[in-house]
Amino acid sequence: MQKGIKAIFLRLMSNLVLSAWLIILFLIIVPFLDAANFKSYLRKDVTRPFIGKEYWPNPQMDWQLNKGKMEVMISRIGKNHDVHILTHQLRPEVGDFNQSVRIGFQNINPKKIMRVGFKFGIVGAMPEEYRSNLFGSSGYQAGITSEGKLFGPSGESKDLLPTSFLKDFRLNLLVKHHDTGFDYTVRAEKWGEEMEVRASLELKKSIRSSKELSGNLALFSDYLQKGQAPSIPSDINNFRPDVTFQNWEIEGRKVKENSSQTFGPVLWTQYTLHRGVMKMTAQISPLGKKNEEKVYLELWKDGKWKRVLSSAIHEYASTAHFRMENWNDQHPVSFRVVLKDGDKIGEWKGTIRKDPKNKKTIKLAVLSCMKDGAFPNQYLQQNVITQDPDILFFAGDQLYESNGGYSIVRASKIEDVARASLNYLPKYWIFGWSFRDAMKDRPSIVIPDDHDVYHGNIWGLGGGPVPEGGSKNVDGGYEMHPEWVRMVERTQVSNLPDPYDPTPVLQDIGVYYTDFNYGGISMAVLEDRKFKSGPAQAVDKGTHKGRVDHVRDPNLDPKVLDKPGLSLLGKRQEEFLEAWAGDYKNAEMKAILSQSPFCAVATHHGGGKDSNILIADLDSNGWPQS
């Protein structure tokens, strides 16, 4: 072979070999290009309820972040104790994934067996929507018990690990999803100082299933048998963790990632604009009593963000509040609310619209009664945004007691309020997360009704408590501690225009009845629950059969229930309405916004039977009339 030809041949062979290696490398790498991975990075300098924006704990009141660890206290209130990762889910296509986490059992009782580990394939009413999968959902579980036994779908280990092993170990899960089901391996191991495996136990199993394997991923901890969880301490400072989690890792082709799927630390905003005054409430993730970080409101001016106001975060309500006078309401202004969380900045953006006082048509969107079955209500919210209303009005029952998949915590004394607030807040978050994209760009009126304060119905007795020896459903009054009631109102109504007369009612509970002038319409926002008399003041509860507020006697004249001295709106609100009705300054029409209908045709309650016919309904229908 000639020298020139030989050189060309060698260069060609070299290129061919290189190309072959590139092809092989390409074939090895390509299948993993779409693989996602996750590794938890938790703040090690704080102890607080808020774990991080990538997580959703169920229920929030039983979880906390403590110096780099997720801690859970298993209580009877929480039917499920798990923490979901929001940014990563399982894709429906076949593939592999694995998870690992460092676990520590803190409280082992041989008579009350706990189970901890991983949940995967968690799906709810809308499996493709990760928020729909966060509670009331099904999935597979794999992990270890507090007696040292591994378990997984349709399987458990015969051998046990010693109790000493369970105080600090790593749990691993490998799942291989294929056309006919999936194979899984769950392994617990403890490493020594020289990084050698000191002890381990492994469980392998194949599951045949034609069901799609997709949905959320979570860590969980619960008691093996129902009813074994203890009552939680009322004082949040007595948090007693049962299990700790740290260093959670997820990876694999089966996993998909969307880094925008987060919630916190600035959750959403509600604002109003009224006669040159802008008021805004920002809902913040619960950062705990020791938090010293402030929340800032910034406006977009002259091509840059300008910081204009700051606010502390309320201990119970986890809210920040902003009020600006002399607002130029004829120009839209972009805003953002920012909060520093360690070395990261959380923010929420929106637009303060100009007052549409010159528009011919003003649109008001009215919604109420938010159960969690359709959460996150993305289609409803998108339809609302498409209609582009000028004002949003949420007329009450932004939550129900069962929302979130866990029951309520009562607050009868001040020590109960912190935990009862953490019980309430995630139920309210379900509402806020559903409609925050609509609220960020237009004024919103949000007023609490009965279920918002954990009542089936409420007759507020002017802010008074339930009478001693009485019943909230018969005699009226607020059952929850007044500080908790103030917390609820702070989350929902603190962005409303200043109240007509801010003097508190009984128990130092605030008021919010007010005038809202926007778009050339003067709206009276009323509290038709707070001042209302109780049914027992009109009906003889000793002789009445059935619910006192439901009168079924066809021979009874409802007018006899309108007794002297009873109250619907209270003297103070009546005086406000008298003044408001005659004030047409910058207003072409008027409207009243309230929780209850003052004229409701109540026919039946509890079905269509004749025995369920209502003659009078003391919950609505403007009772008492005079």
Burial class (CB in 10 A: 0-12, 13-18, 19+), 391: buried
Q: Taking the alpha carbons of 432, 434, 436, 442 in that order, is the dihedral positive or negative?
A: negative
pTM listed for this prediction: 0.92
Looking at the structure, do residues 293 and 225 belong to the same domain, yes or no? no
**Amino acid at site 280:** M
> Is 22 contained in some domain?
no
Which domain range does residue 139 map to?
36-257
CA distance 32 to 508: 61
Instruction: Identify the CATH number of the domain in which residue 137 sits.
Output: 2.60.120.200
Looking at the structure, do residues 415 and 491 belong to the same domain, yes or no? yes
| 77-114 tens-digit pLDDT | 777 899 999 999 999 999 999 999 999 999 898 889 99
Looking at the structure, do residues 118 and 190 belong to the same domain, yes or no? yes
Q: Pick from 234, 257, 280: which residue ends a domain?
A: 257
CA distance 512 to 498: 7
Instruction: Identify the CATH number of the domain in which residue 367 sits.
Output: 2.60.40.10
Residues of the chain under the 70 pLDDT cut = 1-33, 192-198, 231-236
> Is 20 contained in some domain?
no
> Is 587 contained in some domain?
no
Burial class (CB in 10 A: 0-12, 13-18, 19+), 54: buried
Looking at the structure, do residues 412 and 350 belong to the same domain, yes or no? yes
Looking at the structure, do residues 176 and 308 belong to the same domain, yes or no? no
CA distance 578 to 581: 5
Sequence-ordered list of residues with C-beta below 8 angstroms from that of 144, at least 6 positions apart, any chain:
103, 115, 116, 117, 150, 151, 161, 166, 171, 186, 188
DSSP state of 625: -
CA distance 11 to 224: 68
Q: Pick from 472, 504, 536: which residue ends a domain?
A: 504
Looking at the structure, do residues 108 and 138 belong to the same domain, yes or no? yes
Q: Which two tokens stand for residue 601?
A: 């045709």
Looking at the structure, do residues 54 and 119 belong to the same domain, yes or no? yes
> Is 238 contained in some domain?
yes
Instruction: Report the number of distinct structural domains present in the chain.
Output: 2
Looking at the structure, do residues 313 and 233 belong to the same domain, yes or no? no
> Is 510 contained in some domain?
no
Looking at the structure, do residues 194 and 302 belong to the same domain, yes or no? no
Tell me the average pLDDT of the chain: 91
Q: Pick from 218, 239, 257: which residue ends a domain?
A: 257
**DSSP output for 480-508:** S-HHHHHHHHHHHHTTSPPPSS----GGG
Looking at the structure, do residues 195 and 299 belong to the same domain, yes or no? no
DSSP state of 91: -
> Is 302 contained in some domain?
yes
Q: Taking the alpha carbons of 453, 458, 462, 464 in that order, is the dihedral positive or negative?
A: negative
pLDDT for 430 equals 98
Looking at the structure, do residues 244 and 293 belong to the same domain, yes or no? no
> Is 606 contained in some domain?
no
Looking at the structure, do residues 394 and 440 belong to the same domain, yes or no? yes
**304: β partners:** 301
| 219-268 tens-digit pLDDT | 999 998 877 777 666 666 778 899 999 999 999 999 999 999 999 999 99
CA distance 403 to 432: 13
> Is 365 contained in some domain?
yes
